[in-house]
Amino acid sequence: MSRRILITGASGCVGQYIAEALYRHSDAQLLLLLRDPSKLTAVPAEDPRITLLVGDLRQLEPHAAAIASADRIIHTATAWGDPERAYQVNVVAVKRLLALTDPERIEQILYFSTASILDRQLKLLPEAMAYGTEYIQTKAECLQQLEQHPLADRIVALFPTLVFGGALPPGDPHPISYLTAGVGEAMGWLWLAKWLRAEASFHFIHAADIATVCAHLATEPHSPNPEPGQGSVRRLVLGQRAITVNDAVASLVRWRRGWMPAIGLDLRGWLIEALIKLLRIEVNAWDRFSIRQRHFVHQPVSPPERFGLVSLAPTLARVLELAAVPHRGRLPR
């Protein structure tokens, strides 16, 4: 009998890539929890292998029987912006979702968080609770609670880094990620960015590569956390190898067929503050911590290659290609 896999947030960017990967590369029965079925474009909703569970994550009772029938859960749904909604979705609803599972049946829960709440060694950042936005704080609080949950040894916490996905021109069946959608605005500042230098680094990953890892985990036998130095909940940071901000800017300039000056102005504290004022950028406490932190890197990271798989987008150039960013001219809106 094929597995029954529940995916929450199934109409979102990452959710649709995961649903498509499982639909194409497994025989799993997919239970897709989503609020708006019209947004589901990457998989055929009418296929008998797919069951749509239409509703809000804060109101799970109508789907209690379906949730209890799931062998595995991939929880991608999240909320930000409004503090009360973020808490209800990112903390309360997660506990309710787990409470509705059948402990005799559920094998594994892939829980999506964010790499922003972890330090280099994959430990929870104290600053996440102290300075974080409502999204950061609720993700940190939920992780702490999951470590003590009775199902902790069946939970794999996934921490995506910066997520690309979809394409700028219309026609791609996948929703566009916020990061990819912001590429156009970023390109508009290349004329300035290429003259600046910043000692900072980060990871990124394409949603298709997230889906590759998730499909692998969701269809392989689950075992207790094998990662050394972790708690009951396994922690996997999803990202490609770290890239510096300077290399990222250079890649964007090369892609747009521009030229990169050999020297640039180092972005130091006083200059950053001046640019914030000049460009009228709104910053909060978490933004200021991020500016001081500079290096959001982790060890280890888990691209598909860590599981013997192959990444679709291991480089920033490949990300731009998949996003159909033109080499010259105006960018699609």
Question: Is the pTM higher than 0.85?
Answer: yes
Higher per-residue pLDDT: 24 or 278? 24
Nearest to 298 by CA among 126, 122, 156, 124: 122
pLDDT tens, position by position, 45-62: 999 999 999 999 999 999
Measured N-to-C along each axis, helices 13-25 and 207-219 cross at an angle, to the nearest 10 degrees, of: 50
pLDDT tens, position by position, 205-225: 999 999 999 999 999 999 989
Residues with Cβ within 8 Å of 251's Cβ and at least 6 positions away in sequence, in order, are 243, 315, 316, 317, 320
Number of H helices, E strands in the chain: 14, 14
- Under the banding of pLDDT at 50, 70 and 90, the label for residue 18 is very high
Evaluate if residue 4 carries a pLDDT over 80.
Answer: yes
So what's the pLDDT on residue 268? 79
Nearest to 207 by CA among 322, 308, 54: 322
3-class DSSP state of 85: helix
So what's the pLDDT on residue 184? 80
So what's the pLDDT on residue 247? 96
Render the burial of 206-223: b for 16+ CB within 10 Å, e for the rest: bbbbbbbbbbbbbbeebe
pLDDT tens, position by position, 129-148: 999 999 999 999 999 999 99
So what's the pLDDT on residue 1? 67
- Cα 206 to Cα 101, 168, 238: the distances in Å are 30, 14, 9
So what's the pLDDT on residue 293? 85
Fold for domain 4-163+204-238?
A: Rossmann fold (3.40.50)
The token duo for 18 is 């995961």
So what's the pLDDT on residue 119? 95
So what's the pLDDT on residue 222? 95
Evaluate if residue 287 carries a pLDDT over 90.
Answer: no
So what's the pLDDT on residue 275? 75
The domain spans of the chain are 4-163+204-238, 169-202+243-295+315-322
- Under the banding of pLDDT at 50, 70 and 90, the label for residue 34 is very high
pLDDT tens, position by position, 249-276: 999 999 999 999 999 989 877 777 777 7
- Mean model confidence pLDDT for the chain: 94
Nearest to 19 by CA among 29, 188, 295: 29
Evaluate if residue 332 carries a pLDDT over 80.
Answer: no
327, with CB counted inside 10 A (0-12, 13-18, 19+), is exposed
pLDDT tens, position by position, 152-189: 999 999 999 999 999 999 999 999 999 999 988 888 88
